[in-house]
Structure 1
Amino acid sequence: MSQRIAVFVQALDSISELGVIAALRIRPEVHIVDRRDADPEAIAVLVVDEIDDNAIALIKSTRGQGTQRIVLVASSLEDDGVFAAAEAGISGLARRKDVTADGLVQVISSVDRGAGVLPPDLVGTLLKQVSRLQHQAAVPRGQRYSGITDREADVLRLVSQGLDTNEIAQELCYSERTVKNTLHAINNRFNLRNRPHAVAYAIREGLI
C-alpha cells in the first residue's frame, strides 16, 4: 500500500470540523494529524460556509503557518469568491453539498499528485463569463497577444478539468517533463502560486 497522505482539518465551526475528521479518519488513504504538529507537506482541508473575508483570512493564515497545499470545502461557491480563494493559494475546491467522503479523498489524492481541482460545472460557468471579454486577438507563430502560447492554453485547459501531469501528457502527447516545464513557465511569467491560481488567472483574463 502507498504511503498515507497526511491531512489536517480546520473549520470555522467545531461541528463541521469534527464531522469531516470523523469521515476521513477511517479512510486508509489518509492519516489525520493535528494541525499544530503538521509537516509542511501535509494537506489542509478547510471547511467554510461561504468564501468570504473570514474564509480568505483562514486560507492565508494556513499558508502563513507553512502549509502550501490546501483543499477548501465550501457550502456556497460564488465566482468572485472562487477567484479570491485561488489567488489566496488553494490547491483544490469542493462544493460541500456534493462531496462525499470518497469524493473528498479523491480531491485530496489529486492535490497530493500535483493536480489542481475545481468542480467541473463551475469551470464551465466561468468560461462562459470569460467569453464576454471577446479576447480574440492573436499574433503569428501561436503566440497570443496576452503572452500565452497555444501549448500553454491547452495545458491550462486540461488542468482546469482536474487532470494530473501524467494525464495531461497522455492527452496532448507530451512528456511529463514538458507539461511540468510549461506550467512552471506560466507561473513564473505571471507570478502565480500554483495550478488553481494559474487556472483562475487564465479564466479571468480570457486566456482559455
Structure 2
Amino acid sequence: MAVHAPDPITHEGVVGGLRRRPELHLVGEAEAVVVVVVAEVVDEQVKTVLRRFSRTVGARPVLIVSDLKEAHLLEAVECGVVAMLWRREATPDGIVRAIVAAAGGGGSLPPDLQGRLLKQVGRMQRGAQAQGLAAAGLADREREVLCLVADGLDTSEIAGKLAYSERTVKNVLHGLMTRLHLRNRAHAVAYALKEGYI
C-alpha cells in the first residue's frame, strides 16, 4: 500500500500511524495495490489523482476526506474509490480496516455516506426508468435486439423480425455497445447473458 497526501506533514502523519502495522507493507505509489489518498475536498485535482491510481496504476483508492459535497460522492466512486473515511474519524485501526477491505476486493463507507450513495443510486435508477430503461439498465428495444443477435440473426433478419430499419438495429447496437464499453456484438451478448439481461 502507499499514501498520497496533499502535503509532507499529512503524508508523514498517515505513514507514521501505519508503518508499524504488521498487516501492511508500504511501497511506492507505482507498485501499490491500495493507495490511501488524503484530501480536504474532492476537486478536479483529487479526481485526477484518483483516476490515475485506479486506471493507470491499477491500485484501489481509499479516500480520506474532510468534506464531501453530495455531487462529489458518486464522482469519487466513478473515479475508482472503493473505500472512504471521514478525516475527522480516521484512526489507524479504521484506516487499516479500509485498506484490508480494499485489498481483498471489498469496500468500506461510513454509514452516512452509504445512505447518501444509496439515495443517489436510487435517483439515477428512477431517472433511467423514466427514460425507458428497464431496471436492469437495458431498454426493451435493446433487450429484443440482443436476444435476436444471440439467436444468430444478422442485421437484416433482426430488422425484418422487429419491423425496424437496418439503420435502427445498427443504432441500437452501437448505442448499447458505446454506453457499456463493449467491443463487438459477441461481447454484447456475452455481457447480457452474464448479467442476466437476456
Calculate the TM-score normalised by the size of structure 1. Answer: 0.57
- Deviation (angstroms), 1:24: 0.4
1:66 aligned residue: 57
- Deviation (angstroms), 1:8: 0.8
Unaligned ranges ≥5, structure 2: 140-178, 182-198
* Higher gyration radius (CA): 2
Contact 2:53–2:60, Cα closer than 8 Å, also in 1: no
CA shift digits 1:56-90 (9 cap, x unpaired): 12112333541331111111122211211111112
SS of equivalent residue, structure 1 residue 47: strand
Higher-RCO chain (CA-CA 8 Å, sequence separation at least 6): 1
Q: Distance in 2 between matches of 1:49 and 1:24?
A: 20
Aligned counterpart for 1:26 among listed residues 20, 27, 39: 20
- Deviation (angstroms), 1:147: 4.1
Q: Residues 129 and 89 from structure 1, CA distance in 2 versus in 1: closer, same or farther, beyond 3 angstroms?
A: closer
- Deviation (angstroms), 1:128: 4.0
Q: Residues 133 and 107 from structure 1, CA distance in 2 versus in 1: closer, same or farther, beyond 3 angstroms?
A: closer
- Deviation (angstroms), 1:133: 6.8
Q: Distance in 1 between matches of 2:14 and 2:107?
A: 21
Q: Distance in 1 between matches of 2:35 and 2:95?
A: 12
SS of equivalent residue, structure 2 residue 61: strand
CA shift digits 1:77-119 (9 cap, x unpaired): 2221121111111221111111211011000111111112222
CA shift digits 1:140-187 (9 cap, x unpaired): xxx736349xxxxxxxxxxxxxxxxxxxxxxxxxxxxxxxxxxxxxxx
Moved over 6 A (4+): none
Q: Distance in 1 between matches of 2:54 and 2:135?
A: 33
Q: Distance in 2 between matches of 1:83 and 1:133?
A: 11
Contact 2:5–2:11, Cα closer than 8 Å, also in 1: yes
- Deviation (angstroms), 1:34: 2.6
Calculate the TM-score normalised by the size of structure 2. Answer: 0.60
Q: Distance in 2 between matches of 1:127 and 1:64?
A: 24
1:76 aligned residue: 67
Unaligned ranges ≥5, structure 1: 1-6, 138-142, 149-188, 192-208
2:97 aligned residue: 106
RMSD value, Cα = 3.1
Q: Distance in 1 between matches of 2:33 and 2:123?
A: 39
SS of equivalent residue, structure 1 residue 28: coil
Q: Residues 34 and 144 from structure 1, CA distance in 2 versus in 1: closer, same or farther, beyond 3 angstroms?
A: closer
- Deviation (angstroms), 1:132: 5.9
1:146 aligned residue: 137
Q: Residues 120 and 190 from structure 1, CA distance in 2 versus in 1: closer, same or farther, beyond 3 angstroms?
A: farther
Contact 2:73–2:117, Cα closer than 8 Å, also in 1: no
